[in-house]
Amino acid sequence: MSRLVNGRQPHFHQHRFRKPRSSTGIGNDGKASLLTEILSMADFSRTHPLSGFFAPTRFEADVIDCVVTGAIPSELDGAFYRMHGDWIYAPKFTDEPSLSADGYISMLRFRDGSVDYRGRYVKTDRYLRQVAARKQLYGYYRNPYSDDPEVRDIARPNLRTAANTTPVVLAGKLYATKEEGLPYEIDPNTLETRGPSDFLGSWPSLTFTAHPKFDFFTGETVAYGYESTGLATNDVHVAAFDRTGRVTWSLDFQVPYASMLHDMALTKDFVVIPGGGTVTSLERLEAGRPHWAWDSKRPSYYAIIPRGGRTEDVRIFEGPERSIVHTANAWNDGEKLVLDAPIADGNTWPWFEDVDGGAFAMNIFTIRRITFDLRSNSNKPTEDVLFDRDVTSFTRIDDRFLTRPNRYIWVQYADPDRPFHAALPEDPRVRPVNCYGRFDLVSGTDLAWFAGPDHVLQEPLFVPRTPHADEGDGYLIGTMHNLVELRTEIVILDAMKMLEIGRVILPFRNPYQVHGTWAGPRDLALT
């Protein structure tokens, strides 16, 4: 039976309404701003994108022995960790991206055919300061100049991180990560926040990527931080950790211009970090604008870094205007390096304004292959479209094949030919992401699973059936939002056949998921 722990309702972070002070809310123009004061409190009435199913949930909860339809495979012994963004207080600005929402981590503990749920906020410095002040203190995404004076810290912008992007397992510990600051260590069982980590002083960068990569063949984790020395800098720090969490190699280098370096790829010999399109500057931040804008005149670039190499060994390749948010995989055969990723020809960030004032138009992602000839004197890679279907950027593979040639890529996408009977926010950029697809890089074919007309999907992950199973032999686990029943569900598919095996039903809706990861008893000390 599904129930809340001890029969209690979830613990809601609801705050009593306080009458706004009409005499103290002073805007930048020197005029009293009653509206700003009201929106600083728990009032979401003017933030339309936060309405409906995807409105903030603002509670923590435990559910013992969740309701299940179908069956939970007995081989699944571990935890599906997910990071979410969930506003405790409404953002200051109506055009603020969801990238700034407070971090919320959830865990679905699979064991003996049953599943328990737990969800907690990540108690970052940002979260604690807001709750203590009982209002929103922070301004635009990654712009401390727009923060309230009591929290504004230009020299240490990493302190304002929301830690809301990816749950990361590194050297037997669990972290909540976001690329704008340091990771926060999380207790893997209680989900209580242990605090930020610079890995015992071995991580000098102000920032830490939300997408480090683990090499199953060597046991190394490779990570990086961009804008590593401060706001709008071109500086990048890269390092490798061994299985114990000790840094074994690091270097610092500069990219051609400051750009969002959201994800990386790893081969047996190289690190690949793609960037381009997004731009920033101190002048922009001082003017109180969001951190990023889009400049279609800027080329894309790719930093190729030899693992164990030196700064002078880093090589920069350039391509045309592109948006690469996430990578699928990469490998190298000698001096030939291949990167597979969802790639778009232009801006894919609806919140990032065009530097020339152009209206946002969504550019579609397709799965493409970038090839780098490291023997050539040319700094231009080649690009091939592998699948022309319009997909999201949230690709997953069988991670045991990271750094080596893989056959399968799983990704969710919106199929306009499928029926959709629910409702989404009235925004032309929003589409019902209703299918998971398995894309076969060898045969060039794809196989889809349709979630149904009432659901939208978020990023899946792959779990092998056994540690030594063939590539793709295992389970695809993904988050679904039931827009009609107003609840979140977790679906388990046979990853090769793309057929449903079971489903976990939560008795409430979760905030939107960003990324997830799977950890077994060998990865973390699970109870």
Q: pLDDT tens digits for 21-35?
A: 333 333 333 333 333
Dist CA 457 CA 447 (whole Å):
16
Dist CA 500 CA 489 (whole Å):
13
pLDDT at position 415 over 80:
yes
What is the structure's pLDDT at 251? 98
Q: In what order do the strands lie in the sheet with 474-482?
A: 67-70, 499-505, 487-494, 474-482, 455-464
Of 148, 122, 120, give the one whose Cα is nearest residue 134.
148
Dist CA 231 CA 134 (whole Å):
28
Share of the chain above pLDDT 90, in %: 86
Mean pLDDT of 293-307: 97
Q: Give kind and range of the element (H or E) at residue 240.
A: strand 235-241
- pTM exceeding 0.85: yes
Neighbours of 378 (CB within 10 A): 11
pLDDT digits (tens, 9 = 90+) for 328-360: 999 999 899 999 999 999 999 998 999 999 999
Q: What is the mean pLDDT of the chain?
A: 91
Give buried/exposed letters for 12-30 (b at 16+ CB in 10 A, else e): ebeeeeeebeeeebeeeee
pLDDT digits (tens, 9 = 90+) for 197-232: 999 999 999 999 999 999 999 999 999 999 999 999
pLDDT digits (tens, 9 = 90+) for 435-477: 999 999 999 999 999 999 999 999 999 999 999 999 999 999 9
Distances from the Cα of 419 to the Cαs of 109, 434, 483, 503, in angstroms?
A: 33, 9, 14, 21
